[in-house]
Amino acid sequence: MGRELTLASVFAASLSFGAHAGVTVNLSDNIELLTYNGQTHKSPVFGKEEPVVLDDGTQQLAFRYVETFEEGKDVSFVRSDVLVVKFDAKDTEIFFDFPVHKNKRQVREFNENPKFKILDANKAPINFEQNKLLKSGFQLSRDYLSEIQRFNLTDAPASLQLTSAKVAVQPTTQPSSSTRGRVVVGGQNALNEVEYQLHYWFEKADAETQARFKAFVNSR
């Protein structure tokens, strides 16, 4: 009987052993990180995304590209499909370099054929493989970690191509009322639109307003 491994343990076994993590992934406002190296990423409800620090070696990230557009007093968000990238990095910082998109049409064109760069600390391009993590049908929520685990059993370029190990897929649990909601917006599974709006206007507010809002939320 083959050994069952979680995806995180597969990464732990394949990465170089060092005294400390050596790869810092910087997340811009355009990146909604979903998973990294077999772990689910949880974004803060308010405030900026902190960099994600990883061990040296092979890195695999799943994320959406998100662009914000102001239309008068309204704000709208356009999101890409889920993108999966795989690359090798050691003792460096990582930055994503996306094209400038001036309107929604350009973002949708980007989604059809995503072209972007991954840069190291010296702003030199890093070679990487990429794929989309697509799921058909109506979805109120998605288990990205389980999807990535199954994806890594395929021969797709950004897959880990785990043919010699039986990866244990974590059971899917029903979201509780305390779990951040995800809804289908425009045919895509994405963060709840209200939460996107909260993120956006919180960052627009001054420090005093942010403090009052945090106090209000904490009192609920």
d(Cα 207, Cα 203) in Å, to the nearest integer? Answer: 9
Sign of the torsion angle spanned by Cα atoms 215, 202, 187, 80: negative
Number of separate domains in the chain: 1
Q: What pLDDT, on the 0 to 100 scale, is given for residue 176?
A: 40
Answer whether 196's CB lies under 8 Å from 46's CB: no
Classify residue 20 by burial, with Cβ atoms within 10 Å: 0-12, 13-18, 19+.
exposed
Identify the domain containing residue 149 by its residue range: 4-219
| pLDDT computed for residue 135 by the predictor | 86
Chain centroid, CA 61 distance in Å: 6
The whole-number pLDDT of residue 145 equals: 94
| Backbone dihedral angles phi then psi of residue 208, each to the nearest 5 degrees | -65, -45
d(Cα 86, Cα 158) in Å, to the nearest integer?
A: 5
4-27 pLDDT, tens per residue?
Answer: 455 555 555 444 444 455 899 999
Average pLDDT of the residues of the chain: 77
143 and 172 in contact (C-beta within 8 Å)? yes
* Residues contacting 47, CB < 8 A, separation 6+: 202
Structure-model confidence comparison of residues 216 and 142, the more confident one: 142
What pLDDT does 9 receive? Answer: 54
